């Protein structure tokens, strides 16, 4: 699998993501500038990554302006053709703004920026990104001010019925909802689309891929996506 990482003005986790994928996981990585459009070097077996940060300074809403970047037109086409797309933190917000994922990310319920390690867990192995880590309590850092997932009741019902909730916040023992850092509805930390090829999550797995950082749990998420 080849990864393409889209760089927006204000992205600040693009190099973290590159280092994790290229050096910690040994994957081929191509950096993509937001004003370009060409994804001809990628197939539907490859993955386009929207990294964390503050694209366009988070003006209007988080991800609202990045959604209109020329590269996003190609990313949406890539996704609609079955290609894989992963959005982390601000990338998750961009996916929701672009319509590739349902719902929205709202201000944390404590109205503060949160930066700490949390635990997340997948309750099923129905998606490539959860197939090899389902049932595990995984420690991953978060760093966001607007990470509270919200959707209307009909959307939430569909997400639950279709196993589109890929990760929920939990405690170290894996108990769902016992530690919900931002007040996300149903303790949702990440979701996917109906086609199971577009994934969005608020926690940062790229910040947990190196022993020097004291945590390699993020590799469980990437390896599952790569292997499946």
What DSSP letter does each residue of 167-193 carry, written as one string?
EEEE-TT--BTSS-TT--GGGEEEEE-
Give me the mean pLDDT over the 218-224 stretch. Answer: 98
Using DSSP's 3-state secondary structure scheme, residue 128 falls into: coil
User: Which range, of 117-121, 151-155, 174-178, 180-184, averages the lowest pLDDT?
Assistant: 174-178
What is the predicted pLDDT for the residue at 60? 82
Q: Is 115 one of the annotated active-site residues of the chain?
A: no
- Provide the residue ranges of all domains of the chain, joining segments of one domain with +: 2-227
Give me the mean pLDDT over the 43-65 stretch. Answer: 93
pLDDT tens string 13-31:
999 999 999 999 999 999 9
65 has a pLDDT exceeding 90: yes
What is the predicted pLDDT for the residue at 79? 98
In the set 13, 47, 89, 96, the catalytic residue is 89
Q: Is 186 one of the annotated active-site residues of the chain?
A: no
In the set 47, 146, 206, 209, the catalytic residue is 206
Q: Is 124 one of the annotated active-site residues of the chain?
A: no
CA-to-CA distance for 170 and 113, rounded, in angstroms? 19
pLDDT tens string 83-123:
999 999 999 999 999 999 999 999 999 999 999 999 999 99
What is the predicted pLDDT for the residue at 44? 93
61 has a pLDDT exceeding 90: no
59 has a pLDDT exceeding 90: no
What is the predicted pLDDT for the residue at 163? 97
CA-to-CA distance for 91 and 34, rounded, in angstroms? 13
Name the band, by pLDDT with cuts 50, 70 and 90, for residue 180.
very high
Q: Among candidates 180, 216, 43, 104, which has minimal Cα distance to 30?
A: 43
What is the predicted pLDDT for the residue at 196? 98
> What CATH fold (topology level) applies to the domain 2-227?
Rossmann fold (3.40.50)
CA-to-CA distance for 82 and 22, rounded, in angstroms? 23
pTM: 0.97
Name the band, by pLDDT with cuts 50, 70 and 90, for residue 47.
very high
Per DSSP bridges, beta strands 84-88 and 104-106 are: unpaired
User: Which range, of 48-62, 90-104, 132-146, averages the lowest pLDDT?
Assistant: 48-62
177 has a pLDDT exceeding 90: no
In the set 62, 192, 204, 209, the catalytic residue is 204
What is the predicted pLDDT for the residue at 142? 98
Give me the mean pLDDT over the 47-64 stretch. Answer: 93
């Amino acid at each position: 699998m080849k990864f393409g990482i889209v760089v927006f003005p204000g992205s600040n986790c693009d190099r973290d993501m590159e280092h994790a994928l290229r050096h910690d996981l040994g994957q081929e990585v191509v950096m993509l500038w937001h004003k370009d459009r060409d994804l001809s070097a990628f197939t539907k077996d490859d993955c386009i990554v929207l990294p964390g940060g503050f694209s366009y300074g988070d003006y209007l809403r988080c991800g609202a302006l990045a959604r209109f970047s020329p590269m996003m037109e190609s990313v949406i086409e890539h996704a609609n053709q079955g290609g894989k797309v992963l959005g982390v933190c601000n990338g998750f917000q961009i996916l929701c703004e672009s319509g590739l994922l349902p719902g929205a990310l709202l201000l944390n319920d404590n109205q503060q920026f949160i930066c700490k390690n949390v635990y997340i867990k997948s309750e099923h192995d129905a998606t490539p990104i959860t197939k090899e880590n389902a049932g595990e309590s995984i420690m991953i850092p978060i760093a966001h001010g607007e990470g509270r997932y919200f959707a209307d009741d009909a959307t939430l019902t569909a997400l639950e019925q279709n196993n589109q909730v890929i990760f929920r916040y939990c405690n170290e023992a894996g108990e769902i909802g016992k530690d919900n850092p931002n007040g996300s509805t149903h303790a949702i930390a990440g979701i996917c689309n109906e086609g199971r090829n577009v994934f969005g999550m608020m926690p940062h797995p790229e910040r947990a891929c190196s022993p020097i950082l004291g945590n390699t749990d993020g590799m469980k998420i990437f390896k599952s996506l790569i292997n499946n």
